Amino acid sequence: MDIQEKIEKLRKEIELNSYLYYVEDNPKLEDYEYDKLFRELEALEKEHPELITPDSPTQRVGGISEKFEAVPHKNRLYSLENSNDENELKKWYERVLKDLNPGASGQMSLFGTQSMDNTAGDIKIPLACEYKIDGLAVALTYKEGKFVQGLTRGDGIIGEDITNNLKTIKSIPLKLFEPVDVEVRGEIYMPVSSFEKLNKKQEELGQKTFANPRNAAAGSIRQLDPKITSERDLSIWVYGGIFEGKDAPKSHSLTMKKLKELGFKTNKITVVDGVEGAIKCIQKIDEERKGLDFATDGVVIKVDDIHSQNELGFTSRVPKWATAYKFPPEALWTTLKRIDFQVGRTGVITPVAILEPINLAGSVVSRASLYNFDEIKRLEIMPRDRVLVKKAAEIIPKVLKAEKTDDSKPFKMPENCPSCGAKLIEKENEVGLWCPNKDCPDVLKGKIEYFVSKYAMDIEGFGESLIAQLIDRNMVKTWADLYALSLLDFMQLDLIKEKSATNLINALELSKNCKLNKFINALGIRLVGKESADILTQYFKTIDEIKAASLEDLSSIDGIGEKMAKNIYEFFKDEDNLKAIEKGLSLGIKPENIYTISDNLKLKGKSFVITGTLNEFSRDKAQEILKSLGAKTPSSVSRNTDYVIAGENPGSKLEKAKSLGVPVLSEEEFKNLIEQ
């Protein structure tokens, strides 16, 4: 046997045993036997590097990337509509029946010419029921049986290329059992047991812990260094695949069968008859789910027949042929010990319910959010009341109801800030009470905590207690000051030795090459969160462009409301904010716009406004096509608009376009443009 043959034989053996271990959960080799094969292969490949192939099992952990490329999805990733109870599920089913059976004159897909007055119970079409996995959606592309690309969901139209990180997940096959072309959809998750272990380890290392398995999986998959991902125990459940050609499976359940045969890790799927069958199946799953080692938040019910699925189609956001039945969140009664107050990063005072601790949905709950003073009025809640508290998978516990006891005490509004003692004020056009002190320590802490958080600058190691020390010792007055801290500065802090101080400096350094949308989110502009920051970066290439935008420019952006536009405008006029940004940039922060990375998008950065009715496209569809080509589609015309597409009966937008000299395209011209 020559070396090449020997290497191939080893690879086959390793792949098979890895499949048995990670996918089938049924290992045939002892760990040491498997390790021996692996080391043998590694040694041979080291001697003959020219024989290494990207799909070799030794190649799962690749090099560090600088960023995740934005890549358009070949097929859009849709979301799911929720059914919150049996009634909503039955309504969904009725709509399915109605759409598949549009009366005697319509085309029938499944059951001949039934009349319209059939109720949901009468006609039974096959429905596939499966776990709704609470993880992160990914799309995996296989060409001739080889894993070539894996993308995050992103906004469903454009995702991020995380191929190298996905390759580290052993239950994702690098090579299928047949050389087919297929795009597979699945959910990346972290087993609950691994999540608990990881949190324990993070706590011991003084690093931030994750709120739930889903966040832990998300934090692990979005690491630029695949080595870190490979150290976290991630897995996949595949829940769909797109096969093309005449041999494509005819039902969802057959698709799943085929995916399993190809080597994918698929979960249990039950095909039932009609909605009554689905309800029975949901009850069974609800009983089983408590003992599972993965988080589920419901059951997905899908019309099994692919032809019917195609006939039902999609809304702009979700398939009409599927629904997610959500399990009702757990709720329990306890005693409200008292109501405390907190001051957040915006200065607004929020009341918090301090509870007699209870065990809810797997964790101990001793606090619950009361949001604002209106909520206190609405609930008519008083200290020492009995309160009903609920906790859904990732939501902060919430008080649903309050009942009086003999012990209940009247509620008193606070007068001073719980952090700095300043006299609280009311603000014009805003609800609630506010701390007016710009230097209030808790406001600063909240701002910095937000700045370093995952969806903002995502800086590792900056936990609450570290930030509190930096502020209490006056070492940091704004987020930009973080970047001026030295190793010695950090080493002055309690519990920080040279190694952790170096890690903190490195984490800050790493965060300098950030994404513009995350940086804008991190600035903490009032009302501007992750999504609006994203919209702004689709619009403006750089921070300077946002700074220079007029109030009119900002409020003409689809998705940026008037109040938000005003906040953004005022934020960039404030001297202190401008100084912080200038300082941050001069200390090396380099925000990069992800929406300008993909150069292959031909309408990149162009802005189109549609007015009137198009014949061949719904407005949603036309906007979706434009976005998939990199364009923006605001709802109103401004000087920044590149084209207006005018259909039949155009509105005032056409006049505005003419008055501003914006070029106008007919539907025909629009079609030519996208077909080019």
Q: Which residues bind ligand IVH (CB under 6 A)?
A: 78-80, 130, 132-133, 137, 187, 239-240, 300, 319, 322, 324
Contact 220, 228 (CB under 8 A): yes
| CB neighbours of residue 421 within 10 Å | 11
Q: Both ends of the chain: CA-CA distance in Å? A: 54
As separate numbers, helices (DSSP H) first and strands (DSSP E) second, the chain gives 24, 19
Tokens for 596, please give them. Answer: 């300008």
User: What is d(CA 130, CA 304) in angstroms, rounded to the nearest whole number?
Assistant: 11
User: What is d(CA 3, CA 51) in angstroms, rounded to the nearest whole number?
Assistant: 9
Enclosing H/E stretch for 45: helix 31-47
The C-alpha torsion from 593 through 595 and 601 to 603, rounded to 10°, is: -100
The one-letter amino acid code at 189 reads Y
User: What is d(CA 436, CA 429) in angstroms, rounded to the nearest whole number?
Assistant: 15
- According to DSSP, the β-strands at 235-242 and 146-152 are unpaired
Enclosing H/E stretch for 303: strand 296-303
Collapsing DSSP to helix, strand or coil, 204 comes out as: helix
Tokens for 92, please give them. Answer: 């969904």
Residue 276 φ/ψ region, left for φ over 0, alpha for ψ in the -120 to 50 degree band, beta for the rest: alpha
Residue 112 φ/ψ region, left for φ over 0, alpha for ψ in the -120 to 50 degree band, beta for the rest: left
Pinpoint the alpha helices (H) of 205-289: 213-221, 226-231, 252-262, 274-288
Pinpoint the alpha helices (H) of 513-617: 516-522, 530-539, 543-548, 551-555, 562-571, 575-586
What pairs with residue 646 in β-bridges?
Answer: 611
Residues 331-359 as b or e (16 or more Cβ within 10 Å = b): beebebeebebebbbbbbbbbbbebeebe
The one-letter amino acid code at 258 reads K
User: What is d(CA 637, CA 612) in angstroms, rounded to the nearest whole number?
Assistant: 13
User: What is d(CA 376, CA 410) in angstroms, rounded to the nearest whole number?
Assistant: 12
User: What is d(CA 634, CA 409) in angstroms, rounded to the nearest whole number?
Assistant: 52
The one-letter amino acid code at 603 reads L
Q: Which residue has the tokens 């003692």?
A: 421
| CB neighbours of residue 471 within 10 Å | 20
Catalytic residues: 132
Tokens for 65, please give them. Answer: 């990337």
Tokens for 529, please give them. Answer: 């969160």
Residue among 180, 183, 233, 288 at smallest CA distance from 21: 233
At residue 378, φ and ψ (nearest 5 deg) are -60, -40
Pinpoint the alpha helices (H) of 187-240: 192-204, 213-221, 226-231
Nearest 5°: the CA angle 17, 18, 19 is: 90
User: What is d(CA 585, CA 118) in angstroms, rounded to the nearest whole number?
Assistant: 65
User: What is d(CA 633, CA 539) in angstroms, rounded to the nearest whole number?
Assistant: 10
